[in-house]
Amino acid sequence: MSKLSYQGKFIQQAQALILENISNEQFGVSELAVLMNMSRSNLLRKIKKQTQGSASQFIREVRLQRGMTLLEETELTVSEISYKVGFSNNSYFIKCFRDYYGYSPGEARKKIDEHIALKEDDKQNSVAIEVIKKGFFQQYRVQIILGITAFVVIAVFLLYPKETHNSDKENGSLRKSIAVLPFKNLSSDSNNLYFVNGLMESALNNLQKIEDLRVISRTSVEKYRNTDKTISEIAEELNVNYLIEGSGQRVDDQVLLNIQLIEASSDTPIWAEQYNHKTKDIFSVQNEVAKKITEAIKATVTPAELQQIDKKPTENVLAYDYYLKGLERLQDETKEGLEAAISLFKKAIEQDPEFALAYSQIAISFYYLDLNQAEKRYTDIINNNADKALLYDSKSAESLIAKALYYINVNEYRLAIPHLEKALEYNPNSSAVVQILADLYSRAIPDTGKYLQYALKGLQLDIEANDSISKSYMYLAMSNALVQNGFTDEAQKYIDMSLDNNPENYYAPFLNVFIQYAQHQNIDKAKDALVKEWKKDTTRLDIMQEVAKFYYFQEKYDSAFYYYDKFVKIKESNGLNMYPQENLKIGLVYDKMGLNDSANDFYKAYAEYCKNDDSIYQPASLAMKYLHEGNHNLAIEQLKLFATKNNYQYWILLFLEEDPIMKSLKSHPEYDEVIQKIKVRFWENHNELKKSLKDKHLL
């Protein structure tokens, strides 16, 4: 699972020296230069030449690689490993690890354990199951709607490509963009880091409440905690005009805070202040900082936003201290971290029983404990704490997020939407809310227009300088959102960037086949490309059933059966219920092969799927069912109904008429009219969406 593969004696020697000093957090570029008997500048130059990266990045990669090895070979905890590889801050280790590998150390260990458990199983079936279990690079999973792949964003992190920077400046979205860099802990006690991080988090949260600002998320800035990059370099990577730097220390009940606002273009502070106050006054200081910054960059702050900024989370300083400690433990992204955070949030509530933020964080933490459980255990706890959070602060984005997550936990997705939209009113820069909305509109409540809108909004907020693998999957997600809405040229641009960053990306070649088909509509070329991808890994059920479908479209039923039969056997042997919308096509292919009893089972399963489908695609699915049953008039009525829907995927236009079952309908007197209505409706939505996104400076 390691990634470093640099060659050459010089690099090998440097790696060996770093490994010898791996647990020394102070071991950096200068120390390595001394041991290599080189000047610092020569070392920097040589490492840059051989790795295409900085020396500090190279040292960090060696540390992370060693961390992965310890995860694979030992039973050490993530916290223990972070210290063994020279990270004094466990949260920063987890953040860097995720940046480098694309998933957290906890997820890595889970993958390792699953791999070991599966080794004894039959290879073909085990790999197929693993594909399904791990989903879309731990943050995405594959979903098929009417048989065409749609990639679902779970926790999407999206990037602006550098090519868009100039247009950003032209449309004004960059003018009031700002990033709050991690604050430095100047306390002699390293245990005060959580408090300093809390000050940074509060400064960020206050600014995020202002719609006239574009505020970069914490996840995007965390990797700059120990950076040696210049202000100009950071601003360029984050695509912002302003940066906030801060440092703080706490001694007993006294807090010293230094903050400066820097204009990136000139690398010049345009506002700076030092605060020395009692801990109990920290809230008024945080609020004043937000106001001073908005004044300095001439941002418009509405009375409602000012009211949100002035709001104190609690009057109890000890409660707030426990709350900040809890937030710090959440950064672990582990079960242990969540449980520790919950305990601290509960202590905060003991000090202040009306502490809304603490209740909301308890609900959110329990949601993530329940996230991957087949049987939910904490639904009532999530709901009760979310309700208390709303009771004590109904205008808090966190309270509303907590309630929305309760509805998501019980699969009441539509009830979650208004809470999330209201949360976005109170915190227009909340990347968490934007990500959840993008996910819901991608998979749970399919709406391609809103999916793309929130994906692009997230792209503005989570601009993170990721490693090439993470970038690849981010560009992949963006490409998918674009092509679903008919933006094929833009989708091709992003899928090319995805492949450029990581040619081994598991899903990008697959999506690229469909984007190419959308552009050229050459079904033979697309089918051949899919077969080529399938041969790279013949256990992939997603590609397997797509190859079958292309043969089905060409009415080459023998070939379609070859792939469908493999697909069905693996599904059945593992008790999987994947792609139920494909059962009609499978049944028709089995019928052609004389397997009538099996075909009837698939027809019944498809009818059940249509009955339970409450998405916008149900009329299109029912039309196919009625066509198979020979009821052409009912099929036309369902297609008419579908023609009134909005924001359906582009794949409908590309593949609906390719289905052999549609042949019998083409002689119907209303066929041409209804098909034209479906096409017109799609392009009307496309053009309206394009204008709306441009008006919002999102496209």
- pLDDT band for 666, please (50, 70, 90 cuts): very high
- pLDDT band for 195, please (50, 70, 90 cuts): confident
Give pLDDT, residue 191. 62
pLDDT tens by residue, 504-535: 888 899 999 999 999 999 999 999 999 999 99
Place of tokens 């989570």: 462
Q: Can you say how many angstroms the Cα of residue 26 is from the centroid of all Cα atoms in its chain?
A: 33
Stretch among 1-5, 15-19, 340-344 having the lowest mean pLDDT: 1-5
pLDDT tens by residue, 368-402: 998 877 788 999 999 999 999 999 999 889 999 99
Tell me which residue of 480, 428, 56 sits closest to 227, measured CA to CA. Answer: 56
Give pLDDT, residue 38. 84
Is the predicted pLDDT of residue 123 greater than 60, yes or no?
no
Give pLDDT, residue 89. 67
Position with higher pLDDT, 303 vs 587: 587
- Taking domain 317-427, whether its CATH number is 3.40.50.1360 is answered by no
How much of the chain, in percent, has pLDDT values that exceed 90?
Answer: 33
What's the CATH architecture for 9-94? Answer: Orthogonal Bundle (1.10)
Task: Check if the beta carbon of residue 456 is closer than 8 Å to that of residue 693.
Answer: yes
Where helices occur in 444-573 by DSSP H, the ranges are 448-461, 468-484, 488-501, 508-520, 523-536, 541-553, 557-573
Coil, strand or helix at 691: helix
Angle made by CA atoms 403, 405, 408, in degrees to the nearest 5: 120
Fold of domain 521-693: 1.25.40
Give pLDDT, residue 348. 95
Give pLDDT, residue 119. 42
Is the predicted pLDDT of residue 360 greater than 60, yes or no?
yes
Position with higher pLDDT, 248 vs 293: 293
CA distance 212 to 295: 12
Position with higher pLDDT, 671 vs 203: 671
Task: Check if the beta carbon of residue 240 is closer than 8 Å to that of residue 216.
Answer: yes
Highest mean pLDDT out of 205-219, 302-316, 451-465, 576-590: 576-590
Stretch among 245-254, 350-359, 415-424, 494-503 having the lowest mean pLDDT: 245-254
Q: Can you say how many angstroms the Cα of residue 369 is from the centroid of all Cα atoms in its chain?
A: 18
CA distance 497 to 183: 33
Region 421-431: mean pLDDT is: 87
Convert 525-552 to b/e letters by CB count within 10 Å (16 or more is b): ebbebbbebbeeeebbbbbbbbbbbbbb
Tell me whether the CATH fold assigned to 9-94 matches the one assigned to 173-310: no
Stretch among 176-185, 412-421, 492-501, 627-636 having the lowest mean pLDDT: 176-185
pLDDT tens by residue, 211-269: 888 887 777 787 787 788 888 888 888 888 899 888 877 777 777 778 888 988 888 88
Task: Check if the beta carbon of residue 2 is closer than 8 Å to that of residue 68.
Answer: yes
Region 492-511: mean pLDDT is: 88
- The H or E element that residue 179 is part of is strand 177-180
CA distance 510 to 526: 10
Strand runs labelled E in 596-647? none
CA distance 595 to 481: 39
Q: Read off φ and ψ for residue 339, nearest 5 degrees.
A: -65, -40
Give pLDDT, residue 41. 78
Q: Can you say how many angstroms the Cα of residue 179 is from the centroid of all Cα atoms in its chain?
A: 20
Give pLDDT, residue 401. 94
Which residues does 298 contact at the CB level (< 8 Å), separation at least 6? Answer: 176
Stretch among 127-141, 242-256, 605-619 having the lowest mean pLDDT: 127-141
Region 273-282: mean pLDDT is: 74
Fold of domain 121-157+434-520: 1.25.40
CA distance 43 to 24: 20
Give pLDDT, residue 384. 96
Give pLDDT, residue 120. 38
- The H or E element that residue 61 is part of is helix 55-73
Coil, strand or helix at 231: helix
pLDDT tens by residue, 331-341: 776 888 899 99
Give pLDDT, residue 46. 84
Is the predicted pLDDT of residue 593 greater than 60, yes or no?
yes
CA distance 439 to 211: 22
Give pLDDT, residue 235. 86
How much of the chain, in percent, has pLDDT values that exceed 70?
Answer: 85
Amino acid at 39: S
Distances in Å between the Cα of 156 and the Cα atoms of 55, 237, 590 are 29, 18, 39
Give pLDDT, residue 126. 37
- pLDDT band for 665, please (50, 70, 90 cuts): very high
Whole-model pTM?
0.62
* CB atoms near residue 338 (< 10 Å): 20
Convert 11-42 to b/e letters by CB count within 10 Å (16 or more is b): beebbebbeebbeebebbbeebbebbebeeee
Give pLDDT, residue 496. 93
Which residues does 475 contact at the CB level (< 8 Å), separation at least 6? Answer: 159, 161, 494, 495, 497, 498, 501
CA distance 482 to 518: 12
- pLDDT band for 26, please (50, 70, 90 cuts): confident
pLDDT tens by residue, 98-110: 878 878 887 777 6
The domain spans of the chain are 9-94, 121-157+434-520, 173-310, 317-427, 521-693
Where helices occur in 371-412 by DSSP H, the ranges are 379-392, 397-409
Q: Can you say how many angstroms the Cα of residue 134 is from the centroid of all Cα atoms in its chain?
A: 15
Is the predicted pLDDT of residue 461 greater than 80, yes or no?
no
684: tokens are 């009307």
Amino acid at 524: D
Stretch among 245-249, 323-327, 458-462, 551-555 having the lowest mean pLDDT: 458-462
Q: Output the average pLDDT for the chain.
A: 81
Is the predicted pLDDT of residue 284 greater than 60, yes or no?
yes
Is the predicted pLDDT of residue 148 greater than 70, yes or no?
no
- pLDDT band for 124, please (50, 70, 90 cuts): very low
Which residues does 116 contact at the CB level (< 8 Å), separation at least 6? Answer: none
Fold of domain 173-310: Rossmann fold (3.40.50)
